[in-house]
Structure 1
Amino acid sequence: MAETKAPNTSEEQLITDHLDIWTTAIEQKSSAGRGSSKKFSLHGIKKLRELILELAVRGKLVPQDPNDEPASVLLERIAAEKAQLVKDKKIKKPKALPEISEEEEPFELPKGWELVRFNDLGEWGAGSTPRRGNIEYYDGSIPWFKSGELNSDYISESEEHISELALKETSVRYNNIGDVLVAMYGATIGKTSILTVRATTNQAVCACTPFNGFKNTFLLMLLKASKSRLIGMGAGGAQPNISREKIINTVIALPPTSEQQRIVAKVDELMSLCDALEVQTENSITAHQTLVEVLLEALLKAPEQGATPEQTAQQFQQNWQRLSEHFDTLFTTTASIDTLKQTILQLAVMGKLVPQNPNDEPAAKLLERIAAEKAQLIKDKKIKKQKPLPEITDEEKLYELPSGWVWSRFGDLFKSFSNGLYKPSKFYTDEGVISLRMYNIQNGYIDFAGAKRVEVEPTELAQFILEPNDLLINRVNSKELVGKTAIIPESEEPLVYESMNMRAKPFIEHLSAQYLNLFMMTKVAQNFISSFAKEAVGQASINQGQVSSIIIPLPPFKEQHRIVAKVDELMALCDQLKARLTDAQTTKLHLTDAIVEQAL
């Protein structure tokens, strides 16, 4: 056994000396939309919690006291208590488990500690589910906990209750106050709680009544520290589970009773510190993102009533200057960069991203030519006559447009809208035509990863073939993704599209398809989509008429191209900045993991 010792100073300092690492090692869950605590994981604090538990169960968190009664004496008393309980027929004689082998010893034990199995420390039993058909079973006062309800260290309120009859006739284990519960099924494996009421559980929960001298709070902590091991023992595919037998066979290190109490107290103290760090970090991230949004929204503000163009330009310049002076400290998270990208798009369609050229042909002339060409196509029976779209009212105009711009209905800019090809998955093949699905539309471009191929008849190919600069729109998808668009690129082979998508064919002789696609990625367009997207069974949908009714700010033709070029340039810079941030963040995550590994 190891010599009696206090924890190393370096081990004690691990927690306090690396606070900057614990609080800044943050893992992004999603880069879409606005930042919130739901879109990042505080990886550093999570690893700190794991480190605290691991140091605790290895005897490295608090000093050993040579005056403590050794754990071996505690085990002798537990064995005597267990024998008496068996003799009194209060518990069944447990099945003898194998001696702990050298291979099972996880680490060198501190003096006074002993290796044991969970089975040695208490009486373990799983619950069950009474027959659902018997209403009397579920009309009672006994709390009946399921694995998903183990959400805190102490629990007392259950969603369901069963009766004394169910308890008797189904032999459901009735657990005592102070018993420790551990979940054994699916995503909840390893979740654990202490009961503060007498209660029972379903079969996905195992309960332990600790023997005298073994603290239930220490067992709770041991189970938390063992969570990854328990998950690793899970079997059963998509919904893994562990058995009572696997839990009770698990080997752990047992300290003296007095040290158990000191360890629990220290862990509680340090977990409270982690709680405070978590709140402080989340508040800091939220405040930072709020500041970014406020400063960026100032750029989008409508000019004050009565302001001259010169005054409006001056106000915009002042807001931009204030932002640019603090650029390095503001755009330090992926969420802030995503907000910047959305602001760039909005500035683009407000005419604030590139200067206007008074020599450009006004957009109103474009609309006249588009209307004339559409009329000729209808006359030549190349497209069907469309129902006229309503005039745009002053109330619909979202902001004042620059000179030369005009508001237009989205539908007036396209030759046609049509839904895609319906082919069940059984028609997918390795040899057919590439068929684009809703999953292939990504942030304004087509992602061919995972694209399927499908056999089509010549008439189907003619009807559903996609051409470069066609706009592909998600017609049916989740609420967040319906209405997303992408431009069809040049392709060496034919492309068709499936029924959950909509194809829109713009008058590319008079319009930039890239500008139309850019507009559909703005918050303005997304708000239009959200306002009429109907949701059913987890899927939202839009139709051709709704998309046609969207109003779009249309610049002169040449300015459309200048806007697209500037947006491409700025988005590339944002992506480079985000890539550097991601690399730096990855380094921090690796550093956090390395600190934990070295500590153990």
Structure 2
Amino acid sequence: MDGKQLKNSILQWAIQGKLVPQNPKDEPAQKLLERIAASRNGDVSPWSEAIGSSKNSKKSLSTSLRGAKATKQSKALSSRIYRENGVWYEQVGTAAPKDISDEIPFEIPENWAWCRLGDLGLYRKGPFGSSLTKSMFVPKSDKAVKVYEQKNAIKKDYTLGDYYISPEKFNTMQSFIVRPNDIIVSCAGTIGETYMLPQDASVGIINQALMRVCLYDLEIADYWQLFFEYILLKKAEMKGAGSAIKNIPPFEVFKSLLIALPPIQEQKRLLEKYRKVLKHVEEFDEAQEQLDKLNKELPEALKKSILQEAIQGKLVPQNPKDEPAQKLLERIAASRNESSLSLPKGMSSTSLRGAKATKQSKNPPSRIYRENGVWYEQIGTATPKDISDEIPFEIPETWAWCRIKDLSTLVTKGTTPRGGNVAYTECGIGFLRAENVAGFDCLNKRSLKYVDEETHYNFLQRSILQANDILITIAGTLGRTALVRQEDLPLNANQAIALIRPIRNDEINLTYLIYALNCPEIQKCLLVQKKITAIPNLTLEIISDCLIPLPPLAEQKRIVAKLEQLFKVL
């Protein structure tokens, strides 16, 4: 149960008389209803009393109100709801009592009473359409009359808003007057927020997005607002989980809704208890949110931590019998010098030379080594350069640092087809975009686009993908990876994706290389160098120069096996 569900349960208990004990000395709620009915029939209400204190004369306003639809509500016949022999009846005026047992939603304590919302006050929704438009508003002045808006109810602040009307316009909108002690209810935006205007609020009118409530007895105002919250809760439950309440029920339906009314003394105890409990609910909700966040983030954080330990050589023990990684790099360098760039079907060496690709087999080999505690890099026969500030962490003796370009024959990026989205076809060759690169070694092909074979083998030939290509997103969400498998082909990729084509799959464990690219420190090294433009991106140079900690091949395999074992648990 989360904080919201707990709050709803407590609200349910409060409205059903289960939150605080009943006191037999309390005056029964039926007596309260009788006083409200007498006040209503005699039109002695806070509304009529407020008329005399307004800046307009009592005579003119009372005349206006008697002519308004709002006042007609007070002349409607009151109803009495009572129980006899286990059956609930309602008697309206002098009419014959009617069995309404099927309307009663739950049992209430003996000293409580059922009544209709319409028996407790006057209700009015704001003016429609052309009755109140912005063209009618005037600047604020001593004579201008305030127009209350939904934000006054939502923010519980009567001072908000800058809309005013002239006294002349105010005299034509008497049905929509709102005064201190009136409750305004938001009917747009955040539906159902209530706010009782304080004594220092100015007389004004409500706009189209508000409903005004004037209760016959102000003592019930706080409980009325609590019950109104309950009404909205039940309405939301009827609509289903996650559904938004789009409007207040129609007036006739709203006024006929049943309300369980406690004695005044119990209302006060109930509200005091509810507010006190609500503070604890809010604390619980905050703690629950933090726990949910932790439960959501912990597996990912733990995964990153384990990954970092693995890439630093701390996850599995080193075996002194393993061939050092430097020997592995020497064989790879020799292989790079002997091999020529492998071209996929349809790709010519001429077209590739004209493309924006980093051809690693033509670059002089790089050797990174440590001497007297200093890390150096020697490229070809050039003078070694101190690169200690680039090394992100320590690695075991049998490991070696190298760059992505030392492990690959090609680092390039995809191509945008001519015409952009127009070039896509219903079927054909799969065309990857950044959203298809799902992270680690995963491709997400649910939203895969397609291009025709002619486009694939001609205009897009530079970015034809091969099995074992490693993909990296270089625009949008940067640094996400995927691995191309044989069963995924044929495929092509757009300009938001870079591809790394490893030189010898028998000397490098591709899964280890993907894990290395995803470890937090390597990701940090990549992203800290990102090119800052209108849309930040990773360049091919940044990817090519990315440092990778390389273990002996046997240890690469042990690391991958251990990671996969641990990640299954997470």
TM-score, structure 2 length as denominator?
0.68
Q: How far does residue 541 in structure 1 lie from its aligned partner after superposition?
A: 3.7
**Hey, which of these two has a bigger chunk of helix by percent?**
1
Aligned to 2:381: none
Aligned to 1:475: 474
CA distance change for structure 1 residues 571 and 556 in 2, over 3 Å: closer, same or farther?
same
1:139-154 map, 5 Å: 145-147=149-151, 150=154, 154=156
Aligned to 2:447: 451
Moved more, 344-353 or 555-564: 555-564
1:157-556 map, 5 Å: 158=160, 160-165=161-166, 168=169, 175-185=178-188, 188-196=190-198, 198=201, 203-213=208-218, 215-231=220-236, 241-243=246-248, 245=250, 248-249=254-255, 251-255=257-261, 256-278=263-285, 333-374=295-336, 376-377=339-340, 381=349, 384=353, 386=358, 393-414=387-408, 415-422=410-417, 430-448=426-444, 450-461=446-457, 462-477=461-476, 481-491=477-487, 494-509=490-505, 510-533=507-530, 541-556=537-552
Q: What are the ranges of 5 or more consecutive residues in structure 1 without an aligned counterpart? A: 1-24, 26-42, 290-332, 575-600
**Distance in 2 between the 1:127 and 1:546 partners?**
63
Aligned to 1:72: 33
**Distance in 2 between the 1:168 and 1:124 partners?**
18
Aligned to 2:380: none
**Distance in 2 between the 1:427 and 1:224 partners?**
54
Aligned to 2:564: 568
Aligned to 1:47: 5
CA distance change for structure 1 residues 207 and 473 in 2, over 3 Å: closer, same or farther?
farther
Q: How far does residue 418 in structure 1 lie from its aligned partner after superposition?
A: 0.7
Q: For each residue in 1:208-230, what CA deviation from the matched residue of structure 2 results, as whole angstroms up to 9, or x when unmatched? A: 34332453322321232233344
Q: Report if aligned partners of 1:194, 1:220 keep a CA contact under 8 Å in 2.
A: no
Q: How far does residue 421 in structure 1 lie from its aligned partner after superposition?
A: 4.3
Q: How far does residue 460 in structure 1 lie from its aligned partner after superposition?
A: 1.5
Count of matched residue positions in the alignment of Structure 1 and Structure 2: 478
Q: How far does residue 64 in structure 1 lie from its aligned partner after superposition?
A: 4.1
**Distance in 1 between the 2:140 and 2:320 partners?**
78
**Distance in 2 between the 1:207 and 1:471 partners?**
64
Moved more, 560-569 or 248-257: 248-257
CA distance change for structure 1 residues 512 and 225 in 2, over 3 Å: closer, same or farther?
same
Q: Report if aligned partners of 2:150, 2:210 keep a CA contact under 8 Å in 1.
A: yes
**Could you say what secondary structure the match of 1:395 adopts?**
helix
**Distance in 1 between the 2:237 and 2:7 partners?**
19
Aligned to 1:93: 69
**Distance in 2 between the 1:483 and 1:138 partners?**
56
**Distance in 1 between the 2:115 and 2:273 partners?**
22
**Distance in 2 between the 1:557 and 1:259 partners?**
77
**Could you say what secondary structure the match of 1:342 adopts?**
helix
**Could you say what secondary structure the match of 1:225 adopts?**
helix
Moved more, 383-392 or 497-506: 383-392
**Distance in 2 between the 1:118 and 1:374 partners?**
87
Aligned to 2:382: none
CA distance change for structure 1 residues 426 and 406 in 2, over 3 Å: closer, same or farther?
same
Aligned to 2:123: 123
Q: How far does residue 234 in structure 1 lie from its aligned partner after superposition?
A: 8.3
Q: How far does residue 476 in structure 1 lie from its aligned partner after superposition?
A: 2.9
Q: Report if aligned partners of 1:533, 1:540 keep a CA contact under 8 Å in 2.
A: yes
**Could you say what secondary structure the match of 1:90 adopts?**
helix
Aligned to 2:113: 113
Q: What are the ranges of 5 or more consecutive residues in structure 2 without an aligned counterpart? A: 49-61, 80-89, 91-99, 344-348, 367-376, 378-384
**Distance in 2 between the 1:531 and 1:201 partners?**
55
- Root-mean-square deviation (Å): 4.5
**Distance in 2 between the 1:280 and 1:134 partners?**
49
Percent same amino acid among aligned pairs?
Answer: 24
Q: Report if aligned partners of 2:145, 2:167 keep a CA contact under 8 Å in 1.
A: no
Moved more, 542-551 or 80-89: 80-89
Q: How far does residue 269 in structure 1 lie from its aligned partner after superposition?
A: 2.1
Q: Report if aligned partners of 1:74, 1:257 keep a CA contact under 8 Å in 2.
A: no
Q: For each residue in 1:361-396, what CA deviation from the matched residue of structure 2 results, as whole angstroms up to 9, or x when unmatched? A: 333344444445555436994865739799672112
Task: Report the residue type matching 2:320 in the other structure.
Answer: P
Q: For each residue in 1:316-352, what CA deviation from the matched residue of structure 2 results, as whole angstroms up to 9, or x when unmatched? A: xxxxxxxxxxxxxxxxx45433322211100011011
